[in-house]
């Protein structure tokens, strides 16, 4: 069903459940998981002016994605990695639309019933609203 799954990640270790969900879904369809990390470009620190700084951040991200990809590879899941630079939410949505992904799988914070608005401002919910394709939020 889902052959082309996008899994945006940050550099934390909280994405295990989302990775497992993406792996299970893509194996059913015989597709591929794309691991994506967006290096946030800081206002006032353009890519051109701070090339060495952003290059280092990109290398760190590549290493992290390789580690996550190795985990997927152990589960016999085809994967690839992409590092982009820009504003995280809009870049994820733009990339998903440009590449025609079937599904985005995101790690998401739990929304507390006593304070629901606190979770609605999260990046995962914003991507879910703007996404050009279905989104699976994994808590």
Torsion of CA 45, 46, 49, 51, to 10 degrees: 100
How far is it, in rounded angstroms, from Cα 82 to Cα 39? 11
Kindly report, residue by residue over 18-47, the tens digit of the pLDDT.
999 999 999 988 899 999 999 999 988 888
Q: DSSP for 69-138, please give it.
A: HHHHHHTT-EEEEEEEEE-HHHHHHHHHHHHT-SEEEEE-PPPPTTSTHHHHTSHHHHHHHH-SS-EEEE
Kindly report, residue by residue over 72-120, the tens digit of the pLDDT.
999 999 999 999 999 999 999 999 999 999 999 999 987 777 766 666 6
How sure is the predictor about 63, in pLDDT bands with cuts at 50, 70 and 90? very high
CATH topology for 4-138?
A: Rossmann fold (3.40.50)
Supply the pLDDT for residue 136. 97
Kindly report, residue by residue over 41-58, the tens digit of the pLDDT.
998 888 888 999 999 999
Question: Taking the model in full, what pTM does it have?
Answer: 0.92
């Amino acid at each position: 069903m889902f052959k082309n799954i996008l899994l945006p990640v940050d550099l934390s270790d909280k994405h295990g459940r989302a990775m497992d969900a993406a792996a299970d879904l893509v194996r059913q369809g015989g597709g591929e998981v794309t691991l994506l990390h967006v290096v946030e470009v800081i206002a006032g620190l353009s890519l051109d002016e701070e090339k060495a700084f952003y290059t280092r951040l990109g290398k760190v991200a590549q290493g992290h994605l390789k580690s996550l990809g190795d985990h997927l590879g152990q589960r016999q899941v085809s994967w690839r990695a992409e590092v982009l630079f820009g504003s995280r939410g809009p870049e994820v949505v733009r990339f998903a639309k440009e590449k025609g992904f079937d599904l985005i799988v995101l790690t998401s914070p739990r929304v507390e019933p006593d304070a629901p608005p606190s979770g609605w401002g999260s990046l995962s919910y914003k991507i879910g609203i703007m996404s050009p394709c279905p989104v699976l939020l994994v808590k």
